[in-house]
Structure 1
């Protein structure tokens, strides 16, 4: 039996790799991959061969958020790329004794069905928390969206559920319990095994200094949007020194592929002074704040910080899953727009505070940290919505059973 992993995005690639690592630890190594969006650099870390054609599109994979992004991708060869990838998956599946793991949204799920091979689906993109929480339905700004979703009674549309109910589909792994329970109502073979996003976040030196307020700055991972987000976050820091007596320590994990020099130049333009490599300070007298750029130290960044100022998708969700609060600010996109930020407040509930302007962050942060009851609610909410670590191994074990049956 050979396994082909299909994924469609940077975050989806990372989730897929965690599951594939768990499979390899169980002794299964007949694995190949096809990243539908981007070039799938995450797979190279495991030396997993990539089949078919891969290419980075202008949108970075966010065509569903902006019609102009879709037009740019079509001009960049999206239709030809998609067709070539479908044919590659079908050719791979025709060789027999094959199984497909689709990670992401309807696109890899559709590719898996078109292959004719048996498949499983890790549903990373949707959650019932976008529609409801444990207390009931959430209000929506759009009357049409509200009526449509209540009519279908599920975050997944009927055609998505149809793909999940095909005899080829052996298992669906939703990201949380509430979503798994709803899918089971529609006879989907859903398994509540947790969210692989929460794996791989351990940090050995997990100690924090209570006399210092440490804040994670999470601008995202996709250029060029990340640099615009970085400027917005830096503007939000104005006034923090006036609101807090504790020394402020700011840390941001610089994602692979980002230009550290560009981040440095933006910091200098906002009056931060470099004191050593990747370390900066700002302030006057005893009122000082330090800032550290931490390349490839994502887990440390999340574990060290008590709160985050965030403009990202997956990274914000992982921070929330540790039981910590985040302040989020809408950006100019293509990902972290006002619509995306509003949807994230529904997905993550009490754990995120949405402010419309950067200059509102300091006040929101002060209000948040002065309310211990609210912080306790946030801790419980984050663990409930994002689940406990170990999901990748649980999913891998289930996959091996399905591939052997």
Structure 2
């Protein structure tokens, strides 16, 4: 009998850029003993490239699936976001009996799609709920109880709620810290200054604008205090769009490193570009992070890097406050004004003691790695 035919077949479903990377890291540890296919519900799913086949229809919405901005769901619907649902449901129904296990990585959106498609006994990895504030709602518990057999949560109180509903739920550690992406990029060789900073402008609709605001803040620093700057380019974002938004020019002088994307410069600042799949390489060399990202912010904080986050009138306050209760002082939230960002950045640059203090808070609040082995063991049972 063909060896591939005797191996278990898994389907991984993820619904966001950070979720794709977490899922892909798990898949890489399962292959080649298990046949795995991935269905990234939203976006291109570039995290799975070279790891496993991608299946299913590609869905694209204006928000990229993020729910941190007020009215994002309403805008997605208004701009045709519901059009992605029929193809997704049709696909999920067509493959319902094709896999030994279906693994969901993300928020409750995907279990909801699975519920509508008749799925049961899902393996659920919750990357959204922090357990620091709002817990599972009655509607979320209704869906999860009817679709999930096993779950890994980020906090004990979340897992306890699901256990009450008959789900085998655990909180074995922060899986995000087991899945920080590392790639082919030597950040250390590009260091020229005492400090370094990583820019994480996000992976969704306002990424170019976020990057432009971050650059405006860096331009306001005293010349002598400008750090080395790294930019992790998420997914299939256009470097040209980023360069245009920040009024910078791109250098295409690339090294032989697979994740080197060259650099951007305006004659004063130099921004070293790397693919998002090498983000961990840049974080390891950095002292401070400017971040508008989701999963990547958690990973930066867990590594002990203070994060400066630009707030916006568009922010959904309930989600922002939930996150801030978990992050504490380690994430410094300032208005998205270049002067405010530059002020916060200058204070951190000038105070190694404050960077150390905030870094310790981030590591404590986020927790360390250790969940991966528990997840793999449960999947292989």
TM-score (norm 1): 0.76
Check conservation: 1:248, 1:290, Cα contact below 8 A.
no
The corresponding residue for 2:242 is 263
The corresponding residue for 1:142 is none
The corresponding residue for 1:106 is 108
The corresponding residue for 2:273 is 293
The corresponding residue for 2:329 is 350
**1:156, 1:60 → 2: CA distance?**
23
The corresponding residue for 1:329 is 310
For structure 1, the residue ranges without an aligned partner over 5 or more in a row are 132-148, 150-154, 284-288
Q: Go from structure 1 to structure 2 and tell me whether the alpha carbon gap of 1:353 and 1:72 turns closer, same or farther (over 3 Å shift).
A: closer
1:156 equivalent in alignment to 2:136? yes
**2:130, 2:92 → 1: CA distance?**
27
1:354-378 alpha-carbon deviations (Å, 9 max, x no partner): 1112211232233345555544443
Check conservation: 2:175, 2:370, Cα contact below 8 A.
yes
Matches within 5 A, 1:5-404: 5-24=12-31, 27-29=33-35, 31-51=36-56, 53-62=57-66, 65-67=69-71, 70-73=74-77, 75-76=79-80, 78-94=81-97, 98-114=100-116, 115-129=118-132, 131=133, 149=134, 155-166=135-146, 169-177=148-156, 179-180=158-159, 183-184=162-163, 188-198=167-177, 199-202=179-182, 212-222=194-204, 224-241=205-222, 245-246=224-225, 248-268=227-247, 278-280=263-265, 290-296=270-276, 297-331=278-312, 341-356=320-335, 357-370=337-350, 374-401=354-381
**Bigger Rg, which one:** 1
**1:236, 1:310 → 2: CA distance?**
13
For structure 2, the residue ranges without an aligned partner over 5 or more in a row are 1-7, 254-261
Check conservation: 1:12, 1:124, Cα contact below 8 A.
yes
Offset at residue 341 of structure 1 (A): 4.8
**1:399, 1:261 → 2: CA distance?**
41
Check conservation: 2:62, 2:75, Cα contact below 8 A.
no
Instruction: Give the match's secondary structure for 2:51.
Output: coil
Q: Go from structure 1 to structure 2 and tell me whether the alpha carbon gap of 1:33 and 1:247 turns closer, same or farther (over 3 Å shift).
A: closer
Q: Go from structure 1 to structure 2 and tell me whether the alpha carbon gap of 1:305 and 1:351 turns closer, same or farther (over 3 Å shift).
A: same
Offset at residue 229 of structure 1 (A): 0.7
Q: Go from structure 1 to structure 2 and tell me whether the alpha carbon gap of 1:295 and 1:81 turns closer, same or farther (over 3 Å shift).
A: closer
Check conservation: 1:120, 1:171, Cα contact below 8 A.
yes
Offset at residue 292 of structure 1 (A): 2.1
TM-score (norm 2): 0.80
